[in-house]
Amino acid sequence: MSNHILENSHGPLKRTPQARYFVDSEYFKTEMQQWFADRWVYVGRADELPNPGDYILRTIAGESILITRGNDSKIRSFFNICTHRGTVLVESENTPTRACQFSCPYHSWTFDCQGHLIGAPGMKDVDGFREQDWGLRPIDCEIWAGFIFLNLKQNPPPLAEFLADLPEKFSNWPIEEMRIGERVEYHVQANWKLIIQNYSECLHCPSVHPALARLSPPTSGENEPANLCYAGGRMSLNEGIASMTTSGSTNRPLISSLSESQKRHVYYYSWLPNLLLSLHPDYVMTHRIEPLTNNQTRIVCEWLFEKSTMASPGFQSEDAVAFWDMTNKQDWHVSELTQRGLSSSAYRPGPYSNREELLYDLDQILLPKED
């Protein structure tokens, strides 16, 4: 029997996980391999790289990753190490580069933004050396709806297998054509799975998010069964509420391709392991989760809007950004309190309520089974 279920006189009682899955640093290494090194991982938006030669840096399972847009406009990804002696090639996103070139800070080996070695001082007369053999080590990279995904494994299965039916489910939102209107970064003292757990239930909303509860009924959640690719569902908007903003109204036009039902709901989905998608009637919000340690997580929150909306006179995003920045900070606070409590010797797995069934389902996917 799984240790997540306890039999009692009224039937099986579903329980929260053992503390070690959130506080143990050795287990953290195991799950980083399983969930981040061996699977497709979300790393950012294509519109972060608008021009050839643009690049961003990411860290996945301890690996430094360089993501570039080449002269052919294609987005590619590479391990961020020089193929000469393994030196980190690009130190930060503020590292200056020449036009579509990256020069190693140690011995000046130079690579173009398509990963080719184009300069190797001292190697010209070395027998058997060919520049074409020593380009940057590539990483599989695919894009869906403007989201960039990487997989560190060699010859991984296609991204489509890990997206399941999400492209069809969200086809009415023009996500690929939308652009980042605002970005806020958070550093949270909590395990990455606690962030996903918190996102996946609204039992806490009346006490933690009174402003959210005024816009969307906390009991209106309609969840789908979790699967290996994603978990989530939708919540309705209260009568007279147009969007999740500080006022509940919006000056932005609603997305015209949405159905009438979609305009009256907000859709919250966790794509495993690290993309939280929140689809609203007039914008899309994302959270990119980057685990740093067993009890530290970097979270990048972005608000996406239609290009025509952003180009219209008087466009502003503050009403949506301010509302969710407040709500995010409330979530991060209780997640940090939970992390602290899980570290206590007094913690024992507690019972899930019927409104937390999605969390139990996620436990069965994210955590190993135990006797």
- pLDDT per residue as tens digits for the range 141-159: 999 999 999 999 999 999 9
Question: According to the model, what pLDDT value does residue 346 have?
Answer: 98
pLDDT(9) > 50: no
| Radius of gyration of the chain, Cα coordinates, nearest whole angstrom | 23
pLDDT tier at 4 (50, 70, 90 boundaries)?
low
pLDDT tier at 370 (50, 70, 90 boundaries)?
low
pLDDT tens, residue by residue, 90-132: 999 888 787 889 999 999 999 999 999 999 999 999 999 999 9
Question: According to the model, what pLDDT value does residue 11 have?
Answer: 55
List the chain domain ranges: 41-161, 170-366
Query: Are 162 and 229 contacting, i.e. CB atoms less than 8 angstroms apart?
Result: yes
Q: Give the torsion sign (CA, 188, 189, 194, 198).
A: negative
Choose among 266, 267, 273, 286: nearest CA to 196. Answer: 273
Tokens 């996917």, residue located: 365
**Matching CATH topology for 41-161 and 170-366?**
no
Mean of per-residue pLDDT scores for the chain: 95
Q: What DSSP designation does 351 have?
A: B
Percent of the chain residues topping a pLDDT of 70: 96
To the nearest 10 degrees (0 to 180), the angle between helices 192-199 and 357-366 is: 150
Choose among 140, 138, 147, 184: nearest CA to 44. Answer: 147
pLDDT tens, residue by residue, 201-253: 999 999 999 999 999 999 998 999 999 999 999 999 999 999 999 999 999 99
pLDDT tier at 368 (50, 70, 90 boundaries)?
confident
Homologous superfamily, domain 170-366? Naphthalene 1,2-dioxygenase Alpha Subunit; Chain A, domain 1 (3.90.380.10)
351/203 Cα distance (integer angstroms): 14
Q: What are 107's strand-pairing partners?
A: none
Fold of 41-161: Rieske Iron-sulfur Protein (2.102.10)
In this structure, the number of other CB atoms found within 10 A of the CB of residue 353 comes to: 11
